[in-house]
Chains A and B, each alone.
Chain A
Amino acid sequence: MQWETVIGLEIHTQLATQSKIFSGSSTAFGNPPNTQASLIDLGMPGVLPVLNREAVRMAVRFGKAIGAHVAERSVFARKNYFYPDLPKGYQISQYELPVVGRGQVEIVLDDGVTKTVGVTRAHLEEDAGKSLHEDFHGMTGIDLNRAGTPLLEIVSEPDMRSAKEAVAYAKKIHQVVTYIGICDGNMQEGSFRMDANVSVRPKGQAEFGTRAELKNINSFRFLEKAINFEVERQIELIEDGGTVVQETRLYDSDKDETRSMRTKEEANDYRYFPDPDLLPLEIDAAFIADVVAAMPELPDARRARFQEQYGLSTYDADVLTASRALADYYEAAAAEGGDAKLVANWVMGELAAALNRDGVDIGDSPVAAAALGQLVGRIRDNTISGKIAKDVFAAMWAGEGDADAVIEAKGLKQITDTGAIEALVDAVLAANAEQVENYRNADPDKRPKMLGFFVGQIMKKSQGKANPQQVNELLRKRLDT
């Protein structure tokens, strides 16, 4: 039988506010346990929540970025369950009336086809704290620093039909939330966490199969592996005469498998009801207009502009707009370097390789955008060759100063003096009489390849500093006449 996979994602994005969603505590990551837990975060008797306006602004920004309806009136509800890192015994979330309604994003599949994925809703809620099981000798420690951190939970339609599509959608949402500056997108620190609802059905069947929910996946690679494992598990199960049960499953990345956490019967009854401590959230047209006016350029628009303005290929524009930080870097470097195409090659080539090799984020690059632009400028004005530029870049990466300083300090300035180059060429030709003879006897169409030998010798002799174009011209003049 042919099977079709159906996937919907719920993505929890941590909003990049300074303070928590219902208290004034800081949301900074990585501080000593419970140093960012106020009376409100601790769930002390008698405390009350007050909504953070900035979190609302960010939710609205997301809504407008995906063309969604922003609710004029939405309601915070309590989701009741007991857990030690949930101080109040309930999570404040949104249930029946979320702040962001239906929207959509476009993803590009491997075959280049564009697909639209629906976003059902996005709602504001608070994060829980953390239970720490190590270091406490059979006891559990509770860290409430994260408790109350604002989250925007983004729920998709069950529109994806493969793990690859799910990953493309997740990456798209990651791109949007980081572009519009509402989430730092840091997956290691848990700023972007994914749950996947996965089911299979015989191809052609209209009804969905029974789904399993895969919880708390924090990398795109794991998302793909978890879904693929789960799809295979479900198909095997059904083909062996079994039935899929509705349940929550956990992906174990060490074993590359999913396993059951709890079935539907064991699931909590969250007893949602409107939180009486908070008034309904009312958002007026002026608020939305302010958000729209301050909306940064969105990735799709930027990609199109890069092609138009800088003459980049679709592929290059795609790569360079993958993140807002990279796109910003590229534009700053291009403004300094002049030749947008050449700058693009440097950003995607030498810079990307170095970032990748050292595991550095673009935002922390030791070579700043302007410095890279300056380096490209030195290639364009013939101060150095493209080959020497790679050495200069390596020195800049190592912190030895900007392009001019490195060129100066290492004496890498290109030799463009015609007399000096003539001397180099003549010396090399004189030292390689046999090769000169071979060259002159060779077919004209084999000559260009043979010319490379002389160029290499001359560049070597000049320690790479001779202007390659002049070397080529002179060589041809000497050898071909």
Chain B
Amino acid sequence: MHDKTIAELSTALHAREVSSAELTRLMLQRIKTLDPALNSFVTLTEDQAIAQATAADARIAAGDAGPLTGVPIAHKDIFCTRDVRTSCGSRMLENFIAPYDATVVGRLEQAGAVMLGKTNMDEFAMGSSNETSYYGPVRNPWDTATVPGGSSGGSAAAVAARLCAAATGTDTGGSIRQPAALTGITGLKPTYGRCSRWGMIAFASSLDQAGPMTRSAEDAAIMLTAMAGFDERDSTCAQRPVDDYVGALRASIRGLRIGIVREFMGDGLDAGVAAAIEQALNEYKALGAELVEISLPNAGLSVPAYYVVAPAECSSNLARFDGVRYGHRCDDPKDLEDLYKRSRSEGFGAEVKRRIMIGTYALSAGYYDAYYLKAQKVRQLIADDFRRAFDQCDVIAGPTAPGTAFRIGDKADDPVSMYLQDIYTIAVNLAGLPGMSIPAPHSGGMPVGLQLIGNYFDEARLLNVAHQLQLATDWHQQVPAEFA
């Protein structure tokens, strides 16, 4: 039962083959038994999960159920969950019980999904390996000596290990797609503004976006249907109807033009990963799609631009964690300055501090024009590149990450090499486009992610393109042996 997708579980729940309460207990038991090897959950909400499952069973019995009713999922610990600790992977919020639900959390609850708990993550979503979490690194279920990627590494590992049917994630520079790639699952970062950011603890507000992490494109479609939509509490949330994602899955992709980014297939890409991507693209050709080479000439500027914009916004967003109203406060502050300095020094980890300092510098008087303003111009250039590319193709495909999962500790002391993990994903955030990672064939026994990039609000097409590949292949159905 734990190996079933959302779509399959929904059928089983509606057929009364299993109750949500039974399913929830089973998953909780799996987490207790198997998660100590992974550390993917930071909080289990057992009592609440059972209560939600019981309510879901009543809804199913009453005929008032949707495809998510009774399905056990998990939330990245960046989403505020009422009366439940929301730590954001940080010591700063070790004691923070959120007084409200994020919009995405509330919508999934209304759809009847059962929350099993909160998943581990890089501190304040800053990291690509889940090693910056105050609550310890998460391990990749495919090889527990390796990282699951980040920052949504807990959600990715939990979904890959079949500890929950699906999970929420957030993606600022690749934080859904890169861990999805490294753990062999399906992850979707929607268009900026498609999902509400209300209740999602901000890292870089102009880039952050919530999305589903699932085992199939079909499940991602089901999850996104519940998560997406206008929210008046978020001024940057798009005021446009949500497409029929599930309905769009079945369409044929014959004649689809897939753009292959020249700049993404060259230096820096692991040969095994390149081969796996080739294989996936060949499969698309077999399905009747046409491959066209495209160019994103300014894509090479995306990592440096990102590492100005994201830290700049984070330096301001994280100012509220000052030890005054909530969160970590140092013992016996001597005065106000001491309170600020020690609370923040103790509450934040090294990577968060690094980015706050970079961002503070970039916004400083005399540097603003040279860094922040220039980076914003680069963003525009990158968006223009994509606009031109979409004149030539319908979706763009390429690698999600430059390699497969690396060993824990390998890049921990080399921030630049870590930042390059997101070299193929960051441009998508800078432009605000939707992007997905879906499993390609393994390389060296480890998962590889194929990234699909769509035009603005073209999630339905992305899901369709992903689903068609998943109908034709079993790459997304691979299970790490110890978690089968």
Quick check: is A123 within 8 A (CB to CB) of the other chain? no
Q: Does A39 contact B (CB under 8 A)?
A: yes
Q: Binary interface profile of A, 33-68, with partner B (CB < 8 Å = 1, else 0)?
A: 000000100111111111100000000000000000
| Contact A276 to B235, CB < 8 A, known contacts A44-B99, A82-B322, A84-B336 | no
Min distance, Cβ A22 to any Cβ of chain B, angstroms: 9
B232 touches A273 (CB 8 A): no
The binding surface of chain B is classed by DSSP as loop
For the complex, what is the distance from the CA of A115 to the CA of B332, rounded to whole Å?
A: 57
Q: List 6 A-B contacts (CB under 8 A).
A: A45-B93, A46-B79, A89-B318, A89-B319, A142-B325, A279-B235
Whether the Cβ atoms of A80 and B202 lie closer than 8 Å is no
Contact B198 A80 (CB under 8 A): no
Interchain nearest-CB distance for A351 vs B (Å):
48
Q: Does residue B340 face the partner (Cβ distance < 8 Å to A)?
A: yes
Q: How far is the CB of B244 from chain A (nearest CB, A)?
A: 28
User: Is there contact, CB below 8 Å, between B235 and A278?
Assistant: yes
Interface string of A138-158 (1 = CB under 8 A from B): 001010000000000000000
Given the known A-B contacts A45-B86, A273-B316, are A50 and B324 also in contact in the complex, defined by CB atoms under 8 Å? no
Is B363 touching A276 in the complex (CB atoms < 8 A)? no
The 5 closest A-B pairs by CB, nearest first: A89-B319, A276-B206, A271-B363, A276-B205, A46-B199
Residues in chain B near residue A47, CB distance under 8 A: 198-199
Cα-based distance from A90 to B359 in the complex (angstroms)? 14
The reply to whether the CB of A277 lies closer than 8 angstroms to some CB of chain B is: yes
Does B200 have its Cβ within 8 Å of any Cβ on chain A? yes
Judging by beta carbons under 8 Å apart, are A277 and B198 in contact? no
What is the bound-complex CA distance between A272 and B367, given in angstroms?
A: 12
A273 in contact with B233 given A46-B102, A46-B198 (CB within 8 Å): no
Bitwise, B190-214 to A at CB < 8 A (1) or not (0) is: 0000000111111011100000000
Asked if B235 and A51 sit within 8 Å, CB to CB, the answer is yes
A209 within 8 A of B: no
Interface centre among B206, B321, B363 (most CB of A within 10 A): B363
Chain A nearest CB, measured from B104 CB (Å): 10
- Residues in chain B near residue A43, CB distance under 8 A: 320, 325
In the assembled complex, the CB of B168 is this many whole angstroms from the nearest CB of chain A, namely 13
* Cα(A276)–Cα(B234), bound, Å: 11
A193 at the interface (CB under 8 A from B): no
Determine if B235 and A48 form an interchain contact, defined as CB atoms under 8 angstroms apart: yes
Whether B322 lies near A45 (C-beta < 8 A) is no
Taken together as a complex, chains A and B put the C-alpha atoms of A278 and B197 apart, in Å, by 12
- Check if A87 is an interface residue, CB within 8 A of chain B: yes
Q: What 0/1 pattern do residues 61 to 90 of B give for CB contact below 8 A with A?
A: 000000000000000000110000010100
Taking the complex as formed, is A88 at the interface, i.e. its CB lies under 8 A from any CB of chain B?
Answer: yes
Confirm or deny: B145 has a beta carbon within 8 angstroms of a beta carbon on chain A.
no
Q: Which of B80, B98, B236, B336 contacts A277 (CB 8 A)?
A: B236
Q: Chain B residue with minimal CB distance to A267?
A: B365
Q: Return chain A residues, CB-CB under 8 Å to B306.
A: none
- A43 to B326, alpha carbons, bound, how many Å? 10
The residue of chain A having its C-beta at the shortest distance from the C-beta of B336 within the complex is A84
Cβ contact within 8 Å between A49 and B368: no
Q: Is the CB of A88 within 8 A of B360?
A: no
B325 and A42 contact, CB distance less than 8 A: yes
Q: CB-CB < 8 A to B372: which residues of A?
A: 273
CA distance A140 to B339 in the complex (A): 13
B223 in contact (CB, < 8 A):
no
A269 touches B320 (CB 8 A): no
**Contact residue among A46, A50, A269 (Cβ-Cβ distance under 8 Å from B365):** A269
Task: Give residues of chain A (162-216) contacting chain B, Cβ–Cβ below 8 Å.
Answer: none
A273: contacting residue among B79, B236, B363, CB under 8 A: B363
B364 at the interface (CB under 8 A from A): yes
- Size category of the A interface is 20 to 34
A80 to B319, CA, bound (A): 8
* B312 CB–A CB distance under 8 Å: yes
| A303 touches B (CB below 8 Å) | no
B319 touches A90 (CB 8 A): yes
User: Is B313 an interface residue when CB atoms closer than 8 A count as contact?
Assistant: yes
Encode contact with A along B352-378: 1 for CB under 8 Å, 0 otherwise: 000000001001110010001000000
The answer, yes or no, to whether A249 is at the interface (CB within 8 Å) is no
Smallest CB separation, A62 vs chain B (Å) = 23
Given the complex, which residues of B lie within 8 Å of A277, measured CB to CB? 202, 205, 235-236
B235 with A269: CB separation less than 8 A: no
With a CB–CB cut-off of 8 A, which chain A residues contact B93? 45
Contacts of A89 in B (CB 8 A): 316, 318-320, 322
Query: With an 8 A cutoff between CB atoms, is A324 at the interface?
Result: no
Q: Beyond the given A84-B322, A89-B320, A277-B202, could you list 13 further A-B residue pairs with CB under 8 A, ordered by the A residue number?
A: A39-B99, A39-B100, A43-B320, A44-B326, A45-B80, A45-B96, A47-B199, A80-B363, A89-B316, A269-B365, A276-B205, A277-B205, A279-B236
Q: Residue of A at shortest CB range from B340? A: A82
**A12 sits at the interface (CB 8 A):** no
Interface residues of A in 13-46 (CB under 8 A from B): 39, 42-46
* A residues 299-355 touching B (CB-CB < 8 Å): none
Known: A42-B325, A45-B80, A46-B80. A88 touches B320 (CB 8 A): yes
In the bound complex, residues from chain A placing their C-beta under 8 Å from that of B88 are 45
A46 in contact with B235 (CB, 8 Å): no
Interface membership of A121, Cβ < 8 A? no
Q: Which of A42, A50, A88, A272 contacts B233 (CB 8 A)?
A: A50
A278 surroundings in chain B (CB, below 8 A): 235-236
A48 close to B86 (CB less than 8 A): no
* Interface pair B197/A48, CB less than 8 Å apart: yes
A364 to B364, CA, bound (A): 51
- Closest beta carbon of chain B to A48's beta carbon, Å: 5
* Contact between A273 and B368, CB atoms less than 8 A apart: yes
CA of A89 to CA of B199, assembled, Å: 18
Query: Closest residue of chain B to A142, judged by CB?
Result: B324
Nearest residue (CB) in B for A90 is: B316
